[in-house]
Structure 1
Amino acid sequence: MGLEHVRLAGIVVAGLFAAYGFYKYRSGGWRRLDLLIALAISLAVAVVSIVPRIGDVFLNLFDLENRAFGLLVASTLVLFALFLYLLNQVRENSLRTGKLVGAIAVRQYREDFYNAEKDGRKKLFVIVPAYNEAGSLRQVLATLPEEVSGHRVDVVVVDDGSSDGTEEVARGAGYPVAVHIMNRGQGDALRTGFEIAALERADIVVNFDADGQYRADELDRLMQPIIDDEADYVHGSRFMGYYEEAGSVRHAGVVFFSWLISILSGQRITDCTNGFRAIRGSLVGKMELREKSFSATELILEGLRNGMRLKEVPVSMDRRMEGESKKPKRLRYPLGVLRVMIQTWLR
């Protein structure tokens, strides 16, 4: 095949790709940005096919001697940019899926459990995310009191796509359940819980894990700074209180990430991955939550970004009652925490 045939083939490919882009855009499958990227690539292919010497620009730019190699370098950079774009598209699609799953759960909760009549008492709304926690959930729920510091305690279990009967255990114990039709991660479960808390007009919202690591008798300690108007976001710290796994590798990792988030946020944080927290109910809707996992650091940074007064209080963290931790194994967990921390800080 001669050079002229190669150039003609490049022009034809460029034209077909541009036509495909217009077709996808007109049919609603692509957004405008997708079309612009397709047209830019088509134009680049067409220009290189018509004027091959355009590759000399890359020779000078990268101080290369071979034109083909220069075009290869440029193509690699373009492909890397497209890869990053596709990663962002995947994240956006995941976020939309999470919102849809959450909306279905909230709608079902409204139909099954919501009561517009209020008794006038202040409300502490406890969100219990649960994924395959049937073994410990009933015992954990039994520890929650009916009232704390003058606040009526309302509870919702967010069943995050469990397959072990978690929903049935919660309903059997007499507690409302919001059910995700698929497993989405603790971050999405919390986001669903926050939407329900806003619907219920909670005065204070608390996150309480279903694995038995937190103690219900410390709820008043967590709430008090909000009641006294000293804070809007109260974060539990195992290192200020009691930690059953003190001295472990995980301990060292949490200390490192707490040091890092303290630098990024400008506020001293001693236990950034602790999920035992209380937030003023009127402010939970202000946080832009995107992460479906590793959400603890996102919540802290979003709270501070929205001007919430943050305070840490000592709490206890015991070993989970049953089963294994749902946290990713090995390096996936620390890398995930680091990714969420940096991405949230860069928003």
Structure 2
Amino acid sequence: MVVVALSTQSAFLLLVATAVLVWGVARYRRRFVKVDLYIALAIAVGVFMVGFFPTVYDAIGVLLDIENRVITILLVANLGFIAFCLYLLGTLRETRVKLGDLTRNLSIDQASTHQTAYPDGGDQSTIHVVIPAYNEEKSIRGVIESLPESLLDHLVVPVVVSDGSADATAERARIEGTMVVEHPVNQGQGGALKTGFELAQQAGADIVVTMDGDGQHPAEELERLVRPIVEGEADYVMGSRRRGADNSGNGATRRAGIRAFTVLINSLTDASITDCTNGFRAIRGSELDRLTLTEERFSAPELIIEARKNGLRIQEVPITVEERQAGETKKPSLGYAVGLTRTILTTWLR
């Protein structure tokens, strides 16, 4: 009876191994992705060894000081499963990056088609104010109208990126002299900023400013932000609510979190900033190409670390952050700290 049971078990495992291998070969013939074939082959070999050469796992168990063969097999299987999951996560992230690039390129191409509707500044220097906006129909027009037409002998050009908004954000932003582009699907603040940066660079922007579309960043403080760049003192100027005023209504937990992440960035980059998540900033247009920007959601730490790594002269100025004019915050409450930590560490290490 034992021999029959073993024979039946071996036959079943052989069938499973063969099916997995056939599936892998068929998938490779359709997509020609070698990793798919290698994964199927590894699974098939592992299953085959369990059925016909189980003593191999005994040898692995000896190396790992595991006496039970079943535990060894489960350990190897789980390690393989974890590796497979990591591969899937990597593939998913790669797909998301490609989709994001496609979305942004389509938006940029559409904007370029209608470029004649936007001011180019002629021979005048320009400040392009990039405003990422997601469902900000109630506040976006007021933000645009608050901007000056010119500042420190620079023409001010608003660039609104409606990031997959489901409301009338884009329509409300279509004011004469304003660049407006739409993402068909939401890409996150980082993705919207990358679209705005590309448009500003195509237009030859001398200075690129970023500000929120909810009215939290007062336009009257724009001059304080760009003056160090205009006067040649800095390449990257950050607004700091710690040096200025924070009227946003952030709770104690959020304020403590911002301080903690600021300390972490300062420790990793030998910087001395005080507000690492503020989206009110100015960057010299010619320096944008030096920054490697891949983050879709948590873009603020990536910009700071990239600026430090590439030797940009960073300066911080006091600014005020007000309460949003309408709507609710789009920042995720769950996973925000995890996302910031991941962004900081991956940007620092790459």
CA displacement 1:292-324 (0-9 Å, x = unmatched): 211111111122222322221111111111111
- Of 263, 287, 290 in structure 1, the residue corresponding to residue 291 of structure 2 is 287
2:268 corresponds in structure 1 to 264
Matches within 5 A, 1:219-258: 219-244=222-247, 245=249, 248-258=252-262
CA displacement 1:192-225 (0-9 Å, x = unmatched): 1111111111111110111011111222221122
- Of 140, 155, 158 in structure 2, the residue corresponding to residue 152 of structure 1 is 155
- What one-letter code is carried by the residue in structure 2 that aligns with 1:205? V
Conserved? CA contact 2:157–2:177, under 8 Å: no
- Give SS of 1:292's match: coil
Task: Give, in angstroms, the shift of residue 76 of structure 1.
Answer: 1.0
Q: Return the alpha-carbon distance in structure 1 between the equivalents of residues 300 and 6 of structure 2.
A: 58
Task: Give, in angstroms, the shift of residue 40 of structure 1.
Answer: 2.6
Task: Give, in angstroms, the shift of residue 173 of structure 1.
Answer: 6.0
**Structure 1 residues 127, 225: CA separation in 2 closer, same or farther (over 3 Å shift)?**
same
Task: Give, in angstroms, the shift of residue 117 of structure 1.
Answer: 6.3
Relative to structure 2, which stretch is displaced further, 74-83 or 201-210?
Answer: 74-83
Task: Give, in angstroms, the shift of residue 159 of structure 1.
Answer: 0.3
2:74 corresponds in structure 1 to 72
Q: Return the alpha-carbon distance in structure 2 between the equivalents of residues 204 and 57 of structure 1.
A: 64
Matches within 5 A, 1:83-98: 83-98=85-100
2:34 is equivalent to residue 32 of structure 1: yes
TM-score using structure 2 length: 0.92
- Give SS of 1:129's match: strand
- Of 7, 20, 26 in structure 2, the residue corresponding to residue 17 of structure 1 is 20
CA displacement 1:244-265 (0-9 Å, x = unmatched): 1477321111111100111111
Relative to structure 2, which stretch is displaced further, 125-134 or 224-233?
Answer: 224-233
Query: What is the root-mean-square deviation of aligned Cα atoms in Å?
Result: 1.9
Q: Return the alpha-carbon distance in structure 1 between the equivalents of residues 175 and 104 of structure 2.
A: 23
Q: Return the alpha-carbon distance in structure 2 between the equivalents of residues 302 and 31 of structure 1.
A: 33
Conserved? CA contact 2:126–2:205, under 8 Å: yes
Matches within 5 A, 1:169-180: 169-172=172-175, 175-180=178-183
1:324 corresponds in structure 2 to 328
Relative to structure 2, which stretch is displaced further, 186-195 or 226-235?
Answer: 226-235
- Of 177, 190, 193 in structure 1, the residue corresponding to residue 193 of structure 2 is 190
Conserved? CA contact 1:191–1:289, under 8 Å: yes
State the percentage of identical aligned residues: 43
- Give SS of 1:82's match: helix
Conserved? CA contact 2:119–2:177, under 8 Å: no
Conserved? CA contact 2:159–2:180, under 8 Å: yes
**Structure 1 residues 229, 10: CA separation in 2 closer, same or farther (over 3 Å shift)?**
farther
Relative to structure 2, which stretch is displaced further, 198-207 or 309-318?
Answer: 309-318
Task: Give, in angstroms, the shift of residue 116 of structure 1.
Answer: 9.5
Conserved? CA contact 1:236–1:276, under 8 Å: yes
1:209 corresponds in structure 2 to 212
Segments ≥4 residues shifted beyond 6 Å: none
Task: Give, in angstroms, the shift of residue 12 of structure 1.
Answer: 3.2
**Structure 1 residues 86, 239: CA separation in 2 closer, same or farther (over 3 Å shift)?**
same
- What one-letter code is carried by the residue in structure 2 that aligns with 1:304? R
- Give SS of 2:205's match: coil
- What one-letter code is carried by the residue in structure 1 that aligns with 2:83? A
- Give SS of 2:139's match: helix
Q: Return the alpha-carbon distance in structure 1 between the equivalents of residues 203 and 37 of structure 2.
A: 43
**Structure 1 residues 100, 14: CA separation in 2 closer, same or farther (over 3 Å shift)?**
same
TM-score using structure 1 length: 0.93
1:129 corresponds in structure 2 to 132
